[in-house]
Amino acid sequence: AQTIHQWPVAEIKAVGSPLSLGCTIKGKSSPNLYWYWQATGGTLQQLFYSITVGQVESVVQLNLSASRPKDDQFILSTEKLLLSHSGFYLCAVQANTEVFFGKGTRLTVV
Amino acid sequence: QQQVRQSSQSLTVWEGETAILNCSYENSAFDYFPWYQQFPGEGPALLIAIRSVSDKKEDGRFTIFFNKREKNLSLHIKDSQPGDSATYFCAASASSGSWQLIFGSGTQLTVMP
């Protein structure tokens, strides 16, 4: 079974500062990977997906970007954080039709 | 326009009762419907899923009833326990086209002891 490691667990960042969140997948080669965002008490919104190294598709524009530098790694970043970026960021991996989520990163922008 | 709709934001049941969580969808192309359980501060966990070729899927105390004609489904949690208290998300995806998993807004279930 695959494992999903997200880092950091939580971040408190200032408006206008840069951000980088990471996700590493173990136990599955060439996985489809996803970034989701969840506002406090809200639903899950898919942000990006990637089916292979170097290829990332954006689902919704939130002034964020994503990259897949390695087969097992997915990075979410921005150069300038907004207050609206606060929330819970989840990395997910697809195994057949099933999607499994990591433990998430709690981001607070102040 | 919400593609996946969960009619109840919250639901409270007593321990031992059957909790029924409802979900409906708009897109006829959706053919895979997972339910996720999420506890505060954690990522959602896949609970049970059904494909549109079936009308029922059972796994222990959890059962999905699916109505393709009406475009709705429900999750039944039999013999509810306080440990089942969590937020439950209905989701949907289509096997054709770009792959996205669309989530409903979630139902917060509270099981009272």
DSSP string, A12-62: EE-TT--EEEEEEEES-SS-EEEEEEE-TT--EEEEEEEEETTEEEESS-S
Q: Domain range spanning residue A41?
A: 3-109
Looking at residue B72, which CATH number applies to its domain? 2.60.40.10
The predicted model gives B60-65 an average pLDDT of 98
If phi > 0 it is left, if psi is from -120 to 50 it is alpha, else beta; for residue B55 that is: alpha
Q: Which of B41, B44, B99 sits opposite A49 (nearest CB)?
A: B99
Q: pLDDT band at residue B25, thresholds of 50, 70 and 90?
A: very high
Q: Residue B76: its pLDDT value, please?
A: 98
Size of interface A-B (CB pairs under 8 A): 46
Contact A25, A72 (CB under 8 A): yes
Cβ A103–B42 below 8 Å, yes or no? yes
Tell me the mean pLDDT in the region B31-43.
Answer: 95
Contacts of B36 in chain A (CB under 8 A): 101
Assess A2–B contact: CB distance below 8 Å, yes or no.
no
Q: How does DSSP classify residue B71?
A: T
DSSP state of B93: B
8 Å CB contact of B100 and A103? no
Residue A2 has pLDDT above 90, yes or no: no
Predicted confidence at residue B98, as pLDDT, reads 63
Total domain count for chain A? 1
- Angstroms from B44 CA to nearest CA on chain A: 6
* Closest residue, chain B, to A99 (C-alpha): B46
Task: Check CB contact of A106 with chain B, cutoff 8 Å.
Answer: yes
Render pLDDT for B40-54 as a digit per residue (tens, 0 to 9): 999 999 999 999 999
Q: Give the rounded percent of residues in chain B with a pLDDT score beyond 90.
A: 90
Predicted local distance difference test score (pLDDT) of residue B1:
57
Take residue A19 and report the two structure tokens written for it.
């951000």
Q: Amino acid identity, residue A10?
A: A
Put simply, the answer to whether A99 touches B34 (Cβ < 8 Å) is yes
3-state DSSP helix/strand/coil percent for chain A, to nearest 5? 5, 60, 35
Average pLDDT score over residue span A73-94: 96
How near does any CA of chain B get to the CA of A88, in Å?
Answer: 9
**For residue A22, what are the β-bridge partners?**
A7, A75
| Mean pLDDT, rounded, for A10-17 | 97
Question: What's the domain range around B92?
Answer: 4-112
pLDDT of residue B10 exceeding 70: yes
Tokens of A53: 């190294």
Tokens 């979900």 — which residue?
B23
Residue (of B23, B101, B29) closest to B64 by Cα position: B23
Residue B64, pLDDT > 70, answer yes
Q: How far is A68 from chain B (nearest CA, A)?
A: 18
CA distance B18 to chain A (A): 24
pLDDT at B4: 96
**Segment B81-91 mean pLDDT:** 97
pLDDT given for residue B5 in this prediction: 96
Chain A hits for B100, Cβ within 8 Å: 46, 49, 59
Q: What pLDDT sits at residue B97? A: 64
Q: Taking residues B101-111, report their average pLDDT.
A: 96
| pLDDT tens digit sequence for A23-68 | 999 988 889 999 999 998 899 999 999 999 999 999 887 899 999 9
- Distance between CA atoms of residues A101 and B107, nearest Å: 19
Judge whether residue B95 has pLDDT over 90: no
What are all long-range contacts of A66-72, with beta carbons under 8 Å and residues at least 24 apart?
A66/A35, A68/A33, A71/A29, A71/A30, A71/A31, A72/A24, A72/A25, A72/A26, A72/A31
Q: How many domains does chain B have?
A: 1
State mean pLDDT over A8-25. Answer: 97
Cβ–Cβ < 8 Å for A81, B19 = no
